[in-house]
């Protein structure tokens, strides 16, 4: 929507990748990309719309627990994303896995529904990661994390025992080139702003390398 409440037409989304490469490598936000303003009502205002349009999607671990500080749990999420790409119609355009949350830019292939894909992804990874935590003899945080997941589950009628992911996905349809560039930059700069790496393309668990160096990262993506 524009400030006058009129619907913005969906454009053919083609990002000038050379500009994004420079921005990603330098850590600077391109002048053409406006600063992101946090919206506290995002969960209630935004919904999945056109399946074929890229959406910016965020899901976080309950209580922002740093589960993905362990690589073994990141690998479960990567395997699940690969399965969704191969078998469930997910088109992944960009991604990053941080210690306690995930950002995706994704759409769905014809005949598939993006909300269903994300729902199944979260449901499956929730179960698999909790099982992995429970069976990990080297996990020093096991009892505390399981207690936190059980407490979160007891407060949500949609869960029988545990809750791993927060309820919302915060989907935002990226209906203009400006929005797409903005979210790509924001997503890839997450590890830099968190102090994990100096440059976005050095972070293993994101698609930055696909965009700034034009070589394949850990997941197959469809460049936008």
Better pLDDT: 205 or 27:
205
pLDDT (tens digit per residue) in 66-106: 999 999 999 999 999 999 999 999 999 999 999 999 999 99
Q: Where are the domains of the chain?
A: 20-212
Residue 141, pLDDT above cutoff 90: yes
Other C-beta atoms closer than 10 Å to the C-beta of 98 total: 20
Tell me which CATH code domain 20-212 carries.
Answer: 3.30.70.1290
Q: Any idea which of 33-37, 50-54, 75-79, 88-92 has the lowest mean pLDDT?
A: 33-37
Please give the biggest Cα pair distance in the chain: 57
Where residue 201 falls among pLDDT bands split at 50, 70, 90? very high
The answer to pTM > 0.85 is no
In this prediction, residue 52 carries a pLDDT of 79
Query: What is the predicted pLDDT for the residue at 22?
Result: 53
Task: Say which residue the tokens 């994390």 belong to.
Answer: 145
| pLDDT over 70, % of the chain | 77
Euclidean distance between CA atoms 35 and 193, whole angstroms: 14
pLDDT of 198 > 90? The answer is: yes
Q: What Cα–Cα distance (Å) separates residue 138 from each residue in 10, 70, 135, 147, 199?
A: 49, 11, 9, 17, 31
- pLDDT band at 38; cut points 50, 70, 90: very low
- How many helices (H) and strands (E) the chain has is answered by 7, 4
In eight-state DSSP terms, residue 35 is P
CA 21, CA 117: separation in Å to the nearest integer?
29
Coil, helix or strand at residue 6 = coil
Q: How many CB atoms sit inside 10 A of residue 7's CB?
A: 8
pLDDT reading at 108 higher than 80: yes
Give the pLDDT confidence score for residue 156 in this predicted structure. Answer: 83
């Amino acid at each position: 929507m524009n400030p006058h409440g009129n619907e913005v037409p969906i454009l053919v989304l083609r990002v000038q990748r050379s500009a994004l490469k420079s921005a990603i490598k330098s850590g600077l936000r391109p002048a053409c990309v406006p600063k992101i303003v946090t919206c506290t009502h995002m969960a209630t205002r935004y919904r999945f719309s056109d399946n074929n349009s890229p959406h910016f999607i965020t899901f976080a671990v309950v209580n922002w627990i740093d589960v993905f500080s362990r690589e073994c749990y990141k690998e479960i999420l990567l395997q699940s994303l690969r399965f969704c790409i191969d078998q469930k119609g997910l088109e992944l355009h960009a991604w990053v896995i941080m210690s306690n949350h995930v950002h995706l830019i994704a759409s769905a292939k014809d005949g598939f529904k993006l909300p269903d894909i994300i729902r199944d992804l979260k449901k499956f990874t929730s179960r698999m990661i909790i099982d992995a935590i429970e069976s990990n003899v080297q996990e020093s945080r096991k009892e505390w994390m399981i207690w936190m997941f059980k407490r979160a589950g007891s407060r949500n009628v949609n869960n029988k025992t545990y809750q791993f992911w927060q309820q919302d996905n915060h989907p935002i349809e990226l209906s203009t080139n400006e929005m797409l560039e903005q979210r790509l930059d924001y997503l890839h700069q997450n590890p830099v702003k968190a102090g994990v790496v100096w440059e976005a393309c050095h972070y293993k668990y994101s698609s930055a390398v696909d965009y700034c160096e034009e070589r394949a990262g850990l997941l197959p993506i469809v460049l936008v």
